[in-house]
Amino acid sequence: MKNKDFKFVDNYQFDEELLRKAFDEAREVYKERGFMRKMGYGKAPAITTVDMAKAWMSEGHPFTCDKAEEVCAESLKVLDAGRKAGVPIFHTTTGYVGDAQWDLPRWDEKIPMSALDINSEWMEIDPKLKPRPEEPVIHKKYASNFFGTHLAQTLNYLGVDTLIVMGATSCACVRHTVMDSTGYGFKTIVPRGTVGDRVPGVIEWNLFDMEAKFCDVVSVEEVVEYLEGIDSSVYTKAARKSDNK
């Protein structure tokens, strides 16, 4: 590839600013038509990370995202606030079993899913997020954290009404998780700066479109402030424990 082909990447910050200005104008058009409404927050949130394993958040893998260090640093602020408040946290990673990989789907015909061996270190949640033993890691096979998993049932069991979504990638797994979250009836929040991808511009476009139709996109600071006000007794699991004393 010749150097001229990298001009867009070299001017990434400039192009990103242009995109934001264009989307700011488009937001006004959407709002006039009744889109971009605010879902707001419920009383019982949960946090889910999407594919924030080493394969996406560390260098050297075909799935590595751009600016993963920044994404992890911003996500950690949200996770730490949730941990202090006793908010349920669920991580996911996409992977397939063994050399034969009988569980490998047709998706591998489009992208190199065979590079995601569930038994490799690449599938471990990235240590930059400081994952804790009590935070479940759900092994999924497709884009959404919900598709073919128990996540929705578990959130309902806990009495969750709001889901905070962070991770990779904005155009696929995060987007599908957000869409399914709203479909299952959860207020859905995406903190800006906590979503990664591999190509300049993709994040801005998908955040704009998700905010228009499926979720609220807000600052990390706003989400942290919200989490700091959560009382962990709102979860039904906590209530059951109290009843059994």
Q: Is residue 213 part of a domain?
A: yes
- Confidence grade of residue 22 (pLDDT, cut at 50, 70, 90): confident
Q: What's the whole-number mean pLDDT along residues 61-85?
A: 97
Q: Is residue 185 part of a domain?
A: yes
Q: What's the whole-number mean pLDDT along residues 75-96?
A: 97
Tokens matching residue 117: 């061996």
- Confidence grade of residue 243 (pLDDT, cut at 50, 70, 90): low
Q: Which of 65, 72, 173, 215 is catalytic?
A: 173
Q: What's the whole-number mean pLDDT along residues 226-237?
A: 94
DSSP 85-154: HT--EEEEEE-B-TTT-TT--GGGGTS-GGG-BTTSGGGSBPGGG---TTS-EEEESSSSSSTTSSHHHH
Q: Which of 107-116, 153-162, 213-222 has the lowest mean pLDDT?
A: 107-116
Q: Is residue 33 part of a domain?
A: no
Q: Is residue 55 part of a domain?
A: yes
Q: Is residue 14 part of a domain?
A: no
Q: Is residue 204 part of a domain?
A: yes
The pLDDT value given to residue 5: 35
Taking only the tens place, the pLDDT of each residue in 159-194 is 999 999 999 999 999 999 999 999 999 999 999 999
Domain that holds residue 225: 41-98+108-243
The pLDDT value given to residue 41: 98
Q: What percentage of the chain has pLDDT greater than the value 70? A: 89
The pLDDT value given to residue 245: 54
- Confidence grade of residue 244 (pLDDT, cut at 50, 70, 90): low
pTM of this structure? 0.90
pLDDT over 80 at 8, yes or no: no
Residue 169: C-alpha distances to residues 1, 22, 24, 196, 207 (Å): 25, 22, 22, 5, 11
177-198 residues labelled b (16+ CB within 10 A) or e (exposed): bbbbbbeeebbbbbbbbbbbbb
* CATH number of 72's domain: 3.40.50.850
State how many domains the chain has: 1
Q: Is residue 16 part of a domain?
A: no
Q: Which of 31-40, 144-153, 179-188 has the lowest mean pLDDT?
A: 31-40
Q: Could you confirm whether 173 is annotated as catalytic?
A: yes
pLDDT over 90 at 71, yes or no: yes
Q: Is residue 30 part of a domain?
A: no
pLDDT over 70 at 149, yes or no: yes
Q: What's the whole-number mean pLDDT along residues 47-56?
A: 98
Q: What's the whole-number mean pLDDT along residues 231-238?
A: 89
